[in-house]
Structure formats: structure tokens, C-alpha cells
Structure 1
Amino acid sequence: MNRANRLSLLLAALLASTGIAHAEGELNIYNWGNYTSPEMVKKFEQTFDVKVTLTDYDSSDTALAKARQGGSGYDVVVVNQVYVPIWVKEGLLMELDASGMENFRNVAPEWVSADFDPGRKYTIPWAVGTTGVVVNSDTYKGDADSWSIVFNPPEELKGKVNVVPELNDVMAAAIQYVGGEQCTADKAVLKKVRDLLVNAKADWIAMEYNTIEKMAAGDFKATLAWNGAGFRARMKNQAIRFHYPKEGYGVWSDNAAVLKDAKNAENARLFINFVMDPENAAMNSAFHGYANGIAGSEKFMPDAMKNAPEIVIPAESREGGQLQRLCSAEAQDLYTRIWTDLRK
């Protein structure tokens, strides 16, 4: 045996003994924009000799529509928990049995199993967050712990409020504000919701996803948005505050999965296991600004995130959180009709 062959065998044995897998080729990830750490991706590429390509989508409905067409060329997709049962039912996701992966032991107990994916057969946690109100405290100095900031804004904020155009989040917030139950199909309640939203729109400046830069720059003075976006905006402008509405607020999780028709399935599985490592999960959180559902990642987080009120829910607000779920077809149809009226 020549020296080169002996060296190759030695390297292979070393990789096997340390548990480091080797791969090569490509991986195509489909995710929300501005939601995947370039640093984490670079580390994955260097560790496994895999070239990663990121493609952004702008809404959960866009992602689902693309997957339904088939042949997207994507391998890994990040799916909100409300939509996971739809993806599973329609056979769009590969069964992973993530619980058998090495790094699954790092998943926080509360996220080991989930109603939207019992036994974690298809998904693993990517990010965990909340939906609330973000306000510029230089513009408005009153109490902001209410959805009224969005749906009945004070004079200081009229014409300066943005709303992220995500149907489920907006409808859930409006239903909470009028005192309804999550996923209600009560037409009397939903008439109140419809009237509330259509009337409130006159006081909004926009319905855009780009809340981080525009809140930081002062283009928006308040917005219905997510806690990580509020945190990232505050890092750019210390006047920004994230609030948990007293009427209740949504708790959500986004989850990484592998598409059923993935062409790079083994590399996708490597990536799924990779992001459940606490240090890698923290790297991702440091970029997107959300918690991640991976126990032990906290110690690797940037100091600014460790006790941030946007990330660590204050004790007085914890009871108000409600995990958002997939509503009945009847309710969802009614919500879509209201949403269509709102978007006219």
C-alpha cells in the first residue's frame, strides 16, 4: 500500500471516529428572506463540502404554491407550524424520523413533539417567536400593550402604522382584539373583525414585510410584526419597543423539513441534523433574531439576545401567548374572504 492510500484510509478512519460525516455536491434551501445565517451556511459548506443555494419566498402561501407545482429543485424548506399539516397531508414532505438523528437530543422538551407534527416525523425547529406590536417610543409615549395600536391607533400614530401582510397573523390578532376565540367561525364575531380591519386600514401607511429597516429608519412608527423583527429594529434604533398585547398574542414556530422530491436528500438530512447542534442553532438565531427551540443554544447567543425582552417573554406576559394552529376549512374560507376585502 502506498503512502497516499494509507493517508486516505487514515483520514477516513479519523472522520469516522470523530463522528464527522463527509458529503459533497449541492443543497438548495427555500426559506423566508433574511432568515438564514450566511455564517452558518458557510460553516456547513466547509464542513461537508456542499455548495448551498438559498432561494427566498415572501409568504407561506407562496412557498406552498411553489411546492404544489412539483419539480421545484429545492431540498430543504422552512414551514410555519400552521401550514405543516397541509404539507404533510398533501405528501409534499419527506418522512425524516428526526428523533433518530444524533442532534435531536438537543431539541428543547416542549418542542420534541408537537400537535402539528406528532413525533417529529417530518420537521425540526428552526425558529420560535411571537406576534405583537412594535412601536417607536419617541413618537408615542403612551401604553402600547394592546392591539389597539394597530386597529384603533392614537392620534400620534395615525397614518404611520404598518401591518405585515400575513393573513393568519393579522386575523388572529383582530379576533383576539374583538374578544373572539382562536379559529372561530362565528359569523357575528367575524363581521366585527371584518369591519374592524377595513376601517382600520385608513389609519395604516402600508402592509409590508420590510419592518426592520423601515421601523429603524422612522418610515413606520408602529407595526404589527414579529418579535425577532422588533429586536433587530431595536439594534438599529434604541427607540424601538416590542409589546405583548394584553388581549393575547400569537406564539409560532417555523420548522425545517425536506421536500419529498428533494434531489439532494442526503445532504438535506445532514443539514437538518446540523442545525440542531446548539452552536449552529445559536449562529442562526444571532442572524434572524429569534429563539430556536434547541436547548443549550442560549450560551452561544450574543449577549444582546440573552435577556432581550423581545426574545425572553416577560413573566407578566407569558400567560397571554397562544400557539397558533391550523383552523377548519370553514373558518379559513371565511378568513380568506375578509382578507380579500381588506386587500382591495
Structure 2
Amino acid sequence: MRSTTDRIALLALLASACGSMPKSATPPAWFTKPPDSADTLYFVGDATQQPDEELARDTALQKALHHLLVYCGARIESEFKSLEVEKDGKYEQSTELGVSVHGEEIEVQQTKLRLWQVEAGGDGYAGYALVAWPKAEYERVLLSKSEQAKRALERYLAAEAEFAGRDLDAASGSLTDASRFLGKSKAVVSIGHDTIKDTRMLRVAIESLEKRIAELDGARRSVLALDVVCRSDAKPVPCDVRRAGALRQAVAQGGKKVSPSSIPAELVSGILDARINGRAGLPKDAGFVVAVEYVTEFREKDQYGFQYVNYSARAAVLDVRTAQVVHTKSIPPTKVGHVKLQGAIEKGLNEAEKLLAADLKSMIGALE
């Protein structure tokens, strides 16, 4: 069974009065030098070493139509509608082709198979086809492409603004939209922008911004943002700045740069509890975020005046690119004592800090 693409070719453009089967071993003159017309575009296609006449003709026609579609930057979305019409005493096929130009449905109309030729050779059949298309129809398609080019420019300019704000995810998404609107057509379409005057310049600009995004994304993979939250007796309490400072030093000693960005307490808790929904709110200058929580809980005061607390801690490392936690570390509740309550708290937090710092140093090299 033939594919949809093959069926498209089979449905198209078989002229009842224009075919011929000369025995010449060379391509026809109209194939090597297509006609030149002020109001018509011509596209040729050929096929060699085909097992039969029909396949040679159909393959040549398919190639000619492919060249037409490449010329206007379209891809086939539906089959041909073919109607035989009489003109100047001859019958020819007038066709309509449903295509999509960068997501916009249009109709490529009035394509005609002007000439076709099949010849037999020692290694099979060779076919040649000449398709004509009014330039007025091409201009109509071009107008649609101009609108698409303007949309592509809008998305590119949005990507530039997002890149300036270091929102690489949004910038990449906008560039994807720009490329989709622009499509793969090699035709150069004027845009009318002051500096990006046509689609050729827009393609260059898009490629340049893609490279800058990739470079910045690669650079920020070596940067970690880190922040700490603290709880005492089940209540949030301010953290001593030394806690975050000591862990940032461990990150630097592990070979990574430390982001100056502060992380909101809600985001730190969200990372630790795996309640992150996408990348909203994550720092834009770091490839990873380290979220840490220290917890202390008063246990008792003995008969000698010693006061005891349980300390515990947990940490999670989030990959900003994927918004997924890639490493966790938990320190279970451990009892410590001191003559003063604050001394017991400090003693416990210092122990937890040493354990977390050692863990960070050992695993940081694996972050890429």
C-alpha cells in the first residue's frame, strides 16, 4: 500500500492532452531550461531507473510539486483536488492543494501540469514533469508569509527582552515560537523593522540569541544559590546569618560559584517538601538551588541545670533547568546538652552544620 505522500502525487495533475512518450535518450529542453514568464512560475521534476511508466511519471510530478512547496515554504497537509478544464481547445488539470504555512492553513490554487514526458532506457523508465503556477497565487501565499514573519519578529523581540531579564526559559520558549512562525522557507520576506529588515536577518538574529542562551545556561550550571530556614519548637525563627555563610563556603570549596541571590523562605520550604510547581520564582543566575532547614526542639532540664535539645536538619538540591530535586540529605533528631539553653541550641546546630557541609562538598562535583 502506498503512503499518503504517494497518494497525493497520484491524485495530482494528469493532463489528458499534454502527455507524450518520445524515445529520446536525453531530457526534454523544457526540463533543462524551464520557460521564463512574467506572470507564471515553473517547477520541474525528474525520475530515473523506474520500473514502469506510471511510476516514472508520478515520481517526476511529485518532485516538481515538492520544489513548488519548498519555494513557498509549505508542507502538504491534505490531498490534491483535481478538475479537468478546457482551455484553447485542450484539456488540462487545474488543481488545488491544501497546505500549511507555519501553522496557518492556506490554499495553493491553480497549479497545472503543463508538460510531462516518459522515456524508456536500458535501466528502466525516466520521467520528466513541468508544473506551472501563477505568480499572483504565489504573491497571495507570500502575503500570508509576511504576516507570519511579523509574528516571528514579535516573538524574537520578546525573547530578547526575556534574555535581558535572565529568564532563559521564557526566552527559549519565545524563540521556539519565532522559529515556528518563520518556518523553513528560504524565501526572503521584508519585515520593515529598523534593524531586522527581512527574514534572512531575522534567522541570523534568532541563531545568535540561541547561542547566547546556550552559553549563559551553561555558565549558570556552575553557580549554586543557597538559603536556610530555621524552626525551634515547631515555630519558624530567624536564622543566624552564619548558618548560610558556612554552607556557602562549603559550596565554594566544592568548586562551585555561589549566587548572591536570596531565596524566599516559602521557596526553601517548597523545595524541601517537594512542592515546587515549575520554575516560577527560582533564581535566574544559578543552575542549582540548595535549600536547608535546621530544627531544634527543647527536651528537658536535668537536676543539675543542664538543658537538652534535639537537633535535626535536612537539605535538598534542586536542578533549576528541570525543577527537580537531584539530591537530599537528612540528619535525624539527635540529643545534645549545655548549661544554657542557647548553648545547647548552638551546639546542636554546629554539629548539623558540619554534617551538611561535608555532604555538600562530597556531592557538588557531580552536579553538571
TM-score, normalised on structure 1?
0.21
1 or 2, which has the higher strand percentage? Answer: 2
TM-score, normalised on structure 2?
0.20
Largest Rg, 1 or 2: 2
1 or 2, which has the higher helix percentage? Answer: 1
